[in-house]
């Protein structure tokens, strides 16, 4: 068995320039990173460039990238079609704050992929999309409260920074009626009064929550396929029951498809589950690598937004033409039917390989997921059905495995045991074969 300290020493030897850059950046930004989730001990490597399924750091080390910018890259890094679209639009000008000719093309493509939606509006990040989704739901229903699922992250704005990864069992309340816990200093205490929390895969708990808050709830926000406490699929019939319950209580159902949308299928989680929500939030893979988000609404919500209605949705950067151009190229030229087939085939091969390798080494772990999105949970032998069932995972083992993989040149996931791989259409069979060899080698170091 290899010690973590030994792996970290090897990592340090391979990444001296990253160490220097991190030390310099740390003087001017906390943790030396642009977004805190990118930090890990002893320091993150600094990236120089990427191509397809691979990235290279400033020390010249090559990595197979299965984090794909937390799922924001789907066709591979520096895709020529997307770069061409960005370049052509940049030549014409990057931003005007005036409507232009290309937005309609993107809207049509989105509505083709998500036919249950009547319209889409644009924003710049997943957090913005979910923030506007809540506002729209509150405006439409005239109710204040929102329900979310325990363990799920929907962006760093106050209303949803509740019970995203609660970690103190004494504060979490009963499993069937979790106590909303605030996850950041600075979030108003009262926020937790308006954001209620339910367990995933438990329709009775949702019904009871609505009974306790009768006539006060505007919406339930869920990922149709959870990708935020690792991968956690809805049990058979769960989402159908959720749809029935939300309809019966006259509350809106919001699908946060920021991670799974566009990625798991052309029409994301909505297409895969067949359940039709009232509102859909998209971002990440949707932008093909540029910042953009979209908020879709059903027919009933058409006239809610200003100038038809009184709900506000503003933004200098909304529908910025460079992001729109990149998104059109990603959706229409890169993510074709064949690209989805390729991605899913690689995903299956990956999952099979990891399972076999775990079995060979006798390591207790499960690998839940779908398509190209997989999580390895060490220390448990049953797929968790909700966040509480992940509390027993072996994070120490995961950390050692993850660090070992980084040192071997595989950036398997973002630096958290709750993240998943993002296998994309930019990966190749060779990427998967090499990744599986590295994974197997890293497993050997755990036993």
Residues of span 382-441 touching ligand PLP by CB under 6 A = none
| Among 53, 69, 85, 109, residue whose Cα is nearest residue 425 | 53
Stretch that binds ligand PLP, among 122-130, 211-219, 391-399, 425-433 (CB under 6 A): 122-130
Q: Which helix (H) or strand (E) holds 346?
A: helix 337-361
Stretch that binds ligand PLP, among 126-134, 196-204, 353-361, 433-441 (CB under 6 A): 126-134
CB nearer to ligand PLP: pick between 36 and 87: 36
223 binds ligand PLP (CB under 6 A): yes
| Among 195, 178, 175, residue whose Cα is nearest residue 187 | 195
CB nearer to ligand PLP: pick between 172 and 231: 231
- Is residue 11 among the annotated active site residues? no
Q: How far apart are CA 150 and CA 157, in angstroms?
A: 16
For 190, the token pair is 């009262």
**Residue 270 and residue 224 in contact, taking contact as beta carbons nearer than 8 Å:** yes
258 binds ligand PLP (CB under 6 A): yes
- Is residue 190 among the annotated active site residues? no
Q: Specify the 3-state DSSP secondary structure of 438.
A: helix
What are the start-end ranges of the E strands in 329-372?
365-366, 369-370
Q: How far apart are CA 441 and CA 420, in angstroms?
A: 19
CB nearer to ligand PLP: pick between 8 and 33: 33
Q: How far apart are CA 87 and CA 103, in angstroms?
A: 17
375 binds ligand PLP (CB under 6 A): no
**Residue 159 and residue 193 in contact, taking contact as beta carbons nearer than 8 Å:** no
Non-local CB neighbours of 310 within 8 Å, separated by 6+ positions: 139, 304
113 binds ligand PLP (CB under 6 A): no
CB nearer to ligand PLP: pick between 153 and 305: 153
Q: How far apart are CA 117 and CA 301, in angstroms?
A: 10
Q: Please give the size of the binding site for ligand PLP, defined by CB under 6 A.
A: 14
Please name the residue that has the structure tokens 């890169």.
Answer: 334
- Is residue 382 among the annotated active site residues? no
228 binds ligand PLP (CB under 6 A): yes
Q: How far apart are CA 423 and CA 416, in angstroms?
A: 17
**Residue 75 and residue 426 in contact, taking contact as beta carbons nearer than 8 Å:** yes
256 binds ligand PLP (CB under 6 A): yes
Residues of span 278-337 touching ligand PLP by CB under 6 A = 283
Stretch that binds ligand PLP, among 102-110, 180-188, 256-264, 324-332 (CB under 6 A): 256-264
For the window 340-359, what string marks contact with ligand PLP as x by the rule CB under 6 A?
Answer: --------------------
270 binds ligand PLP (CB under 6 A): no
For the window 131-170, what string marks contact with ligand PLP as x by the rule CB under 6 A?
Answer: ----------------------xxx---------------
126 binds ligand PLP (CB under 6 A): yes
CB nearer to ligand PLP: pick between 127 and 405: 127
Stretch that binds ligand PLP, among 77-85, 253-261, 295-303, 390-398 (CB under 6 A): 253-261
In this structure, the chain runs to a length of 447
What are the start-end ranges of the E strands in 322-409?
365-366, 369-370, 373-374, 377-378
CB nearer to ligand PLP: pick between 43 and 70: 70
Question: Which is catalytic among the residues 145, 284, 408, 438?
Answer: 284
Q: How far apart are CA 423 and CA 25, in angstroms?
A: 30
| Among 102, 110, 155, residue whose Cα is nearest residue 133 | 155
**Hey, which residues are catalytic here?**
153, 256, 284
Contact positions toward ligand PLP, by CB under 6 A? 70, 125-127, 130, 153-155, 223, 228, 256, 258-259, 283
């Amino acid at each position: 068995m290899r010690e973590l300290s030994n792996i970290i020493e090897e990592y340090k030897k391979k990444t001296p320039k990253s160490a220097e850059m991190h030390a310099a950046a740390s003087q001017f930004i906390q943790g030396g990173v642009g977004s805190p989730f990118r930090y890990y001990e002893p320091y993150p490597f600094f990236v120089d460039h990427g191509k397809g399924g691979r990235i290279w750091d400033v020390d010249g080390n090559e990595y197979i990238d299965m984090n794909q910018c937390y799922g924001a890259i789907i066709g591979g890094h520096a895709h020529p079609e997307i770069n061409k679209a960005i370049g052509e639009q940049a030549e014409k000008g990057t931003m005007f704050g005036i409507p232009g000719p290309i937005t309609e093309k993107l809207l049509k493509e989105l509505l083709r992929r998500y036919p249950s939606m009547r319209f889409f509006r644009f924003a710049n990040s997943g957090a913005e999309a979910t923030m506007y989704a809540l506002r729209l739901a509150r405006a439409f229903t005239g109710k204040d409260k929102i329900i979310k699922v325990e363990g799920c992250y929907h962006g760093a704005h106050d209303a949803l920074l509740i019970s995203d990864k609660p970690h103190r069992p004494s504060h979490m309340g009963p499993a069937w009626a979790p106590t909303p816990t605030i996850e950041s200093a600075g979030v108003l205490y009262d926020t937790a009064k308006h954001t209620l929390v339910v367990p995933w895969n438990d329709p009775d708990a949702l019904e009871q929550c609505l009974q306790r808050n009768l006539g006060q709830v505007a919406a339930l926000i869920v990922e149709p396929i959870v990708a935020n406490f690792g991968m956690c699929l809805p049990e058979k019939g769960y989402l159908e029951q959720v749809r029935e319950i939300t309809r019966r209580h006259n509350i809106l159902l919001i699908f946060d498809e920021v991670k799974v949308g566009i990625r798991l299928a052309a029409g994301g989680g909505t297409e895969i589950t067949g359940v039709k929500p009232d509102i859909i939030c998209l971002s990440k893979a949707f932008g093909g690598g540029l910042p953009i988000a979209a908020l879709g609404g059903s027919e009933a919500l058409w006239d809610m937004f200003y100038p038809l209605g009184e709900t506000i949705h503003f933004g200098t950067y909304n529908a910025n033409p460079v992001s729109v151009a990149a998104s059109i190229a990603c959706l229409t030229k890169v993510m074709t039917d064949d690209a989805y087939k390729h991605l899913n085939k690689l995903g299956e091969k990956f999952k099979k390989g990891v399972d076999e390798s775990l079995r060979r080494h006798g390591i207790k772990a499960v690998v839940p997921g779908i398509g190209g999105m997989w999580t390895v949970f060490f220390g448990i032998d049953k797929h968790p059905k909700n966040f509480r069932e992940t509390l027993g995972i072996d994070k120490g083992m995961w950390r050692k495995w993850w660090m070992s993989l980084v040192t071997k040149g595989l950036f398997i996931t973002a630096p958290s045991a709750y993240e998943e791989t993002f296998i994309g259409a930019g990966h190749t069979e060779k990427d998967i074969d090499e990744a599986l060899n590295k994974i197997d080698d890293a497993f050997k170091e755990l036993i």
